[in-house]
Amino acid sequence: MSARPLALVTGGRRRLGAAIAARLATAGYNLALHGREAGGELDAALAAAIRAGGARAEDLTADLADGAAAEALPGEASARFGRPVALLVNSASAFAWDTPADATMRGLLDHYAANAAAPTLLARAVARQRAPGACVVNILDQRVAQPIADQFSYTMSKVALAEMTPVLARFFAPGLRVNAVAPGLTIPTPDYSPGQLGRLAARMPLRALPRPEEVAEAVLFLARAGAVTGQVIFVDGGAHLERWEADFVRLERDARD
């Protein structure tokens, strides 16, 4: 059995989850990579990091809106690797556009289930495995500091997870540490233009947008910081210090881009 600790990364096959998983692979972790659906090509940078780091990686599939499936995931990861989960990164997120004007009961509940309830059930399952020094890192969003109405169901579910983080940290101590990282605009979707990104960066207090690697380093720091629990680290160029009138995708748009 490998002596490498096991990290379970939800949403770990793509985008920010893949960047986090890649850093963990080079830091000495084996990886249980969760996705909602089976198959699909692995992020190229993640695949390269797994090879370079000599890590073992396994894919796991679960719909995190299903409570039983979510709570069973750490046990499945542990069975695959023959060791308990040492690090849980709750990176998977449901994300849809709505506002208080058109939010539905179904949308609100679906976002809460995937983005707040599932991370809680996953953390509980990891706590029960009792891995020495085990840690949970919840991936939030800088908007939890200054919530807005855009993507209302998503935003409120992340606010809930942010509030849960110190509660879970206190409840599961001393056997499990629970912290969070709140990224800013890190990996833009195709509806952002290059010019728009530059203008948004200029509006940040640090005049820059965060890189995925910086978010991953914050996760790794929390995984290693044995005296830290119940904390949220914002990796956002200072975005959480400002009050934004709308979601970033609706700001600094220019038809000339």
Catalytic residues, which ones?
154
12 vs 16, 31, 37, 153, 208, CA distance in Å?
Answer: 8, 9, 12, 22, 25
Token code pair at residue 88:
């849980």
Please name which of 83, 85, 80, 32 lies closest in space to residue 55, comparing C-alpha atoms. 32
